Structure 1
Amino acid sequence: MNVIDFFCGCGGASKGLELAGLNVSLGIDFDPDAAATYQANFPNAEFILDDVRNISVVDVISKVPNLTEEPLLLCTCAPCQPFSNQNNKRSESDIRRTLLDETHRFILALNPEYILLENVPGMQNVNPEIEGPFCRFLSFLSDNGYQYIKFIANSEDYGVPQKRKRLVLVASRLGAIDEPKKTHGEDGLPFVTVRDAIGMLPPIKAGQTCDKDPIHKCSNLQAINIERISLTPEGGDRRDWPSHLINKAHKGYKGHYDTYGRMSWDKLSPTLTTKCHGYSNGRFGHPDTNQNRAISAREAANIQTFPSDYIFKGALTSITKQIGNAVPCELARNFGLGILHHFNQVQEGQNNGSD
């Protein structure tokens, strides 16, 4: 089964689908650093570096000439920022809100057997007086013979060591399709923890890069933040500091305790953001109290379940942006396995019917 990955970023969804056994044929994104990362990890896949609004159906077909010979999965994980609760400047006029609409013409032309969509849950929460892109997408799918299931996925239920809720849609033109089976949690494997994800990595100090892995690097910290994190226990936050270290904005304020917090070894990570390299941006402090720093780019990648040898291109801020925006690989792998299982069932049903 071929995969065309729209808005592919650095390749989280593509890598997960590849690990499930699908053939990644084409990635599409407009970010140069993400494109460089993607091409470094998928040397046999084609790539289009451009805004999807500038890309024609012919451009895509010319890159994947064997489209009609194999079943096709079209993956579309459009930018989530216009719908994210983390975005305090959300606007109906944000042009990124309509990028999902651009996939309609490709679906009509390519007629993929399967479609996979992943985004923040807020994508389906639209102004009832304005039909949003997700509502339009659902109507489009129904009008063109697709059956679909949509649900909120807790990433930890699929082997991701992170609290990360995502809106997922899986559509098929080969018949009704079920929600992919959960692999972890109740009646499954134990949840994967921060320790499982990053405990094997060598210690480094703030501002350092590991000699053996150039991606295992982290931001430097000002002296006051070194003092703050050195007084923060595992799983702790600013409530553990003496009052003179607390920002004026936080004094007397209850809430947002994740900022300047440390992770806990044997729990899930908080949701990684595009700024997860910053100690002040969330509970991104390393859980080891002997490592007074924010997590490294490699640690962030491990928490997003990228393979340990995954290559990233760009500066640290660009790399963590790519990682924070990515679909966790294990999430995509499990969805890919579910899609392949459905396709095999369809094929067996057809064969049985022909007998």
Structure 2
Amino acid sequence: RTPPGSSVGALHIFRASPKYDDTIVIGGPPCQAYSLVGRVRSRGKVGYVPEEDARHYLFREYIRVLDKLRPAAFVMENVKGMLSSTVESRLVFEMLMEDLSSLGTGHAHHYELRAVRVEDGKASLQEAAQPSDFIVHSEAFGVPQRRHRVIIVGIRSDLAGRAADAEIAVSGMARTVRDVIETMPVLRSGISRGRDDAAAWRGEVLDAAKLLAGISKGKDNRALREAFLTVSERVKENPPTVRAASRLPDGYGTSNDELLQWIERPQLRAIAQHETRGHMASDLGRYLFAAVFGTVRGYSPKAADFPLVLSPDHRNWHSGVFNDRFRVQLADEASTTVTSHISKDGHYFIHPDPIQCRSLTVREAARLQTFPDDYLFLGNRTQQYVQVGNAVPPFLAKQIAMLVLKAVN
């Protein structure tokens, strides 16, 4: 494990025997220099020179390990932005592929590079015709998240003949946010400033629902108005609690669903790390609006869709820069990519249930990443969110591991 909150690249070496012939190396260099967000931040730094940023070249440390160990196979993972990142007027990905292709110079064997391809419910390792062939879509493997990453598999040439026919059946069923978080205990958000108790929360949500129902006028907004009134009635009759976090849902651990069998652990007596964070009272109305809008309209609202009364006190709110400042995860679709930014404020990860009026908990984010419920994250809650967001979905990793094992065995 990397330290809590760490964003360094991970390198894992598995050895079945003392011989390097039985070694498989799995990992990837840190992605901050390649990610689109990281590149934007770097451009904003005065005097930033990409060629002087050592992070661009950390992939060579990975290659140095490969050259020393000469493993049977390796798996290299990174963000999709690596395909378009440039340094020294060259694409970083071109430099990477050149270095990987030169592995084995002076040795008996080189490495054949393969892309993970999914077709007709089966995954196999194929030669890539273009860089984009190395992009793996997590949702094609039954992960309830649109997470797209570059994954390169290298097979040592003396073993590559075995890899040609290797394939596995994948869990390619389209999975949604609802599939993995609907059974979680219902929780209300906390209030980060001022009075934080059930009565205060109930009052804030009821006031917001009444206000939004009142301004949702006209034929086009009738469904929104009715939804806000429904929320108001439900909150009055059965408001959620902030203390139901650990309770196991009915039927927990008994599902025949492959993904839930992977996530749920029958031996557990409670669900850990499913506690709400506190939100500003002014944000509760925005979360409520986003969740109702997403339920009724089928997409997350943009800044222009929010009523003026909910506009944050930010001069750039209407500039288009913050179009997706508040994003609800739609219940009947795969989630957007769970990133470490969820540790900051949660605005991009609003729960789809309007009654709960909050962002996702650590455990809900972990479930979208397909971490089993008995996997505990270390450190404080911010560090836990960072670890969840920086991870490769374990359910995806398991399937790629099975494919690589079959390819070299």
Q: 1:206 to 1:180 in 2, by over 3 A?
A: farther
Indicate if the aligned counterparts of 2:112 and 2:155 stay in contact, CA closer than 8 A: yes
1:256 Cα offset (Å)? 4.7
Indicate if the aligned counterparts of 1:193 and 1:268 stay in contact, CA closer than 8 A: yes
Higher mean Cα deviation, 287-296 or 133-142? Answer: 133-142
Task: Give the residue type in structure 2 aligned to 1:82.
Answer: A
Indicate if the aligned counterparts of 2:143 and 2:395 stay in contact, CA closer than 8 A: yes
1:259 Cα offset (Å)? 2.1
Task: Give the residue type in structure 2 aligned to 1:301.
Answer: A
Task: Give the residue type in structure 2 aligned to 1:275.
Answer: H
Indicate if the aligned counterparts of 1:218 and 1:277 stay in contact, CA closer than 8 A: no
Quick check: 1:102 aligned with 2:67? no
Quick check: 1:197 aligned with 2:190? no
1:34 Cα offset (Å)? 5.7
Partner of residue 231, structure 1: 289
Quick check: 1:219 aligned with 2:281? no
Pick one of 114, 119, 131 that aligns with 1:149: 114
1:17-56, aligned counterparts within 5 Å? 29=2, 31-32=3-4
Q: Once the two structures are superposed, what CA deviation does each residue of 1:255-296 show, in whole Å capped at 9, x if it has no partner?
A: 6543212111110101111022455542x0001111111000
Indicate if the aligned counterparts of 2:144 and 2:334 stay in contact, CA closer than 8 A: yes
CA distance in 2, matches of 1:124, 1:139: 14
Partner of residue 259, structure 1: 325
Task: Give the residue type in structure 2 aligned to 1:266.
Answer: D
Partner of residue 73, structure 1: 24
Q: 1:99 to 1:129 in 2, by over 3 A?
A: closer
Task: Give the residue type in structure 1 aligned to 2:170.
Answer: T
Q: Once the two structures are superposed, what CA deviation does each residue of 1:106-152 show, in whole Å capped at 9, x if it has no partner?
A: 21221111110111112132437445654343223322100002411
Task: Give the residue type in structure 2 aligned to 1:75.
Answer: I
1:250-329, aligned counterparts within 5 Å? 250-254=316-320, 256-279=322-345, 281-282=347-348, 284-329=349-394
1:75 Cα offset (Å)? 0.8
CA distance in 2, matches of 1:180, 1:125: 30
Could you say what secondary structure the match of 2:160 adopts? coil
Identity of aligned residues (%): 29
Could you say what secondary structure the match of 1:166 adopts? strand
Q: 1:76 to 1:264 in 2, by over 3 A?
A: same
Decide which structure has the larger Cα Rg and report it.
2
CA distance in 1, matches of 2:15, 2:160: 25
Q: 1:124 to 1:244 in 2, by over 3 A?
A: same
Unpaired segments of 5 or more residues in structure 2?
A: 43-48, 105-109, 116-133, 191-241, 247-269, 295-299
Task: Give the residue type in structure 2 aligned to 1:183.
Answer: V
Indicate if the aligned counterparts of 1:101 and 1:133 stay in contact, CA closer than 8 A: no
CA distance in 1, matches of 2:395, 2:386: 19
Could you say what secondary structure the match of 1:337 adopts? helix
Unpaired segments of 5 or more residues in structure 1?
A: 1-9, 11-28, 36-49, 345-355
Alignment length, in residue pairs? 290
Q: 1:134 to 1:204 in 2, by over 3 A?
A: same
Higher mean Cα deviation, 190-199 or 169-178? Answer: 169-178
Partner of residue 121, structure 2: none
Partner of residue 45, structure 1: none
1:300 Cα offset (Å)? 0.6
Structure with higher RCO (Cα < 8 A, 6+ apart): 1
Indicate if the aligned counterparts of 1:234 and 1:288 stay in contact, CA closer than 8 A: no
Pick one of 52, 63, 78 that aligns with 1:119: 78
Indicate if the aligned counterparts of 2:15 and 2:23 stay in contact, CA closer than 8 A: no
Quick check: 1:183 aligned with 2:182? no
Task: Give the residue type in structure 2 aligned to 1:68.
Answer: K
1:74 Cα offset (Å)? 0.3
Partner of residue 89, structure 1: 41
